Structure 1
Amino acid sequence: MQITPVIFDCPRNARDPPDRVLKMTANRYCTHESASNDEGFTLLFAHCIGSHKEQWEPVIEQAFRMQQGKARNQRVREAWSFDWQSHGDAGILNRELLQVSGTRADGVSAYEWAEAIAAFVRSPRMQGRRIVAIGHSAGAGAMVVSLKSTPLSHLPFLGLVLIEPTIAKPELYYRVMADNTPTIEAATLLRRSRWASRGEAKEWLRKRAPYRKWDERVLALFIEYGLDDTSIGDVKLKCDRRLEALAFPDVHPHFDAFAELGRISGRVPVHVIWASRSELVPKALQDALADTKDGRRLASVTHVEGGHLLPQESPVRIAHAIANALDSIAVDFANANIIPAERSRL
């Protein structure tokens, strides 16, 4: 697997200095053989709050392997994984702009991440690509909102795969989920964020929720890429706890994503993957997303064993679910009609 790090300038926000813009960091994944397959899929990945682009690597590697022996239009040409501007390597590059004392006291909204993704998709790099967008939790909402200003006749994605999306109807969110948000925000601010070494961090994290349930490869990637070396020799989270906490009450992008799905899901197949024991998304919100009354039509609904952090806990199962969605999208692309939701379990 060839991995190429790339840095992009994001669309300028009016709050930032005229000569400064936030950066979005990304990794491009491909193989020598896959890069020449112009019939293959280009996969775009967006992570959840508190994570980083490298968390997807076990899923990406498995997806490449699973699709490799299939028809050329079902294979993976390349994959791109993005850091939210306040997370991972982007959080380090943007640290000065995101200081508490500046105009960025409210952090980086998922709206801004969606705008950066949309700008990337419009860039020459993506011209002629057969794009499938894949997002987890808040990253799922960002992928959907990235389409908000795009006419239905020019939607750039062949399909979307939304994993444990925190996409919600406003009135239902305030009825069944809103009371939990302050608790999650407070817990994030109190969570430990600094260790003497990566070795100490690994031993501490692997004994505690949610990390003790993570796949070993994903935990190792978090230790390597989710932590930053400090000037005094210890390590700390790349994503500042304050900025991570600010992302949880930023709920309006999730509301807009709910409305946007009603607009696009009849034109682009949307595959949704839920955890068998989701700790974050109540069943009422899951059912509302599949309700056709507001115009949404899901191509499939899959349940995967695990909790809300499915890509971290069950990367192989998630890769299998993504592979099933890719095979379906390859067939659906030639179809004018999107099939009704089919339910399955992995």
Structure 2
Amino acid sequence: MLDVVSSTFECPQNIRDPPGVRLKLAVKRYTTRDADAAPLDDGLTLLFGHCIGAHKEQWEPTIERVFALRRGLVQEAYAVDWQTHGDAAVLNRGILESSPGRVDGVSAAEWGEAIGAFVRSSSMRRKRIVGIGHSASCSALVHSSQYQSTSSTPNPSPYCAFILIEPTSIPRELYYRDLDSRMSQMEFVVSATLRRRETWASREGAFAWMRKRVPWSVWDERVLRRLVDHGLGPDPSGPGSVRVKADRRYEALSYTDTQPHFDAPAVIARLGSGSGSGSGSGSGSSASESTPVHFIWAEAGELMCASSCPDILLARC
């Protein structure tokens, strides 16, 4: 059974927000009694990022399984919400709705900057961090390895490895090679997102409705339960009513924000060559060390076709 501690982290000041006004990350730390008993310096710290439209708690069944399989190797795990998703969407709603600079929401690159600040914060110092991303969060995580704080002290990358699952990172020329198909996919996903149902009379009603419909009908039931329990919040329309915490407008905009995914392959290549940002020694990778990056591809990709994989991997060489 997981022990869970929730917290918030103040993001770096962004030019799109008034001075002194900052968005927040919603973070959860997961441990088990076995993991807490191990010396801190010996274990790995896993940091999970979610895809567009998801939230941090959907990783919990996976985290439980990892702790069970790798008892003693994994010290702790963290999962982080995108600023427009899950609990973070609730925390940031006031800023997102009132700031003229936030009409486009929060890009994957800005999420990466916030994650970069988090992994270099005092509470994460000297940890052996493995970044684990799915889909769009893969780009955010690799961008976080570049983050440079305003501190004058050495700023090495805190990551010892990355695991990228179905990454949407793609060289610009490859994206435009099959532009018509990609635009058709994007238009479909954006349209479906903007039409998506957002409210239900109860959590159980939401669970039953999703269980019969794609894409939720093919999900592991434990992950769907996390969505219903943590991705939905109270709705003022009536007692017991619930609605999606995230604003679907920002979710739809995230699909069209392609630049961070165009930039990510070059960052991945620098990680592999040992020329990433930062210098000095520490628990992560220094500028002279390469950072292992492991790719996992789905058997049936939804947004990234199998033929793209070799081209994306070439950026790593």
In the alignment, which residue of structure 1 is the partner of 2:309? 286
Cα 1:153–1:94 shift into 2, 3 Å: closer
Q: Percent identity?
A: 47
Q: What TM-score results when the alignment is normalised by the length of structure 2? A: 0.87
5+ long unaligned stretches in structure 2: 274-289
Aligned pair partner of 2:169 in 167, 170, 194: 167
Choose from 123, 128, 136 the match for 2:121.
123
CA distance in structure 1 between the partners assigned to 2:8 and 2:144 by the alignment: 19
Instruction: Render the CA deviation track for 1:275-334: whole Å, top value 9, x for unaligned.
Output: 10112101232121222xx4x14xxxxxxxxxxxxxxxxxxxxxxxxxxxxxxxxxxxxx
Q: Is there any run of 5+ residues in structure 1 with no aligned partner, and where?
A: 298-346
1:42-53 counterparts in 2 under 5 A? 42-53=45-56
Q: Specify the code of the residue in structure 1 equivalent to 2:216.
A: Y
Q: What does residue range 92-241 of structure 1 map to in structure 2 within 5 Å?
A: 92-99=90-97, 102-149=100-147, 154-176=156-178, 177-233=182-238, 234-241=241-248
In structure 2, the residue matched to 1:17 is: 18
1-structure distance, mates of 2:237, 2:49? 32
Q: For residues 6 and 123 of structure 1, what CA distance do their matches in structure 2 show?
A: 13
| Cα separation, 2, equivalents of 1:10 and 1:52 | 18
Q: 1:101 to 1:120 in 2, by over 3 A?
A: closer
1:246 corresponds to which of 231, 253, 278 = 253
**Does residue 1:66 correspond to 2:69, yes or no?**
yes
The structural deviation recorded for 1:15 is 1.7
Q: Distance between the aligned counterparts of 1:4 and 1:197, measured in 2?
A: 26
Q: Is 2:7–2:28's contact at 8 Å kept on the other side of the alignment?
A: yes
Matched letter for residue 189 of structure 1: L
Aligned counterparts, 1:19-58, within 5 A: 19-35=20-36, 36-38=38-40, 39-58=42-61
Letter in structure 2 aligned against 1:52: H
What CA distance in whole angstroms lies between the structure 2 residues aligned with 1:168 and 1:248?
A: 14
Contact kept in structure 1, 2:116 and 2:147, CA below 8 Å: no
Note the alpha carbon deviations across 1:243-283, whole angstroms, 9 max, x for none: 10010010111111111111112311110001101121012
Which AA in structure 2 matches 1:235? V
- Supply the RMSD in Å over aligned alpha carbons: 1.8
How far apart are the structure 2 equivalents of 1:94 and 1:139? 19
TM-score normalised to the size of structure 1? 0.80
1:334 maps to none
What is the CA–CA distance in structure 1 between the aligned matches of 2:9 and 2:99, rounded to whole Å?
Answer: 25
Secondary structure, aligned partner of 1:236: strand
Aligned residue for 1:86, secondary structure, equals coil
Q: Which amino acid aligns with 2:45?
A: T
Deviation at 1:100, TM superposition (A): 7.1
> Match for residue 287 of structure 2?
none
Alpha-carbon distance between aligned partners in 1 of 2:155 and 2:131, rounded to the nearest angstrom? 17
Secondary structure at the residue paired with 2:213? coil
Other-structure match for 1:270? 293
Number of positions where the alignment pairs a residue of Structure 1 with one of Structure 2: 289
User: C-alpha separation between the residues in 2 aligned to 1:283 and 1:86?
Assistant: 29
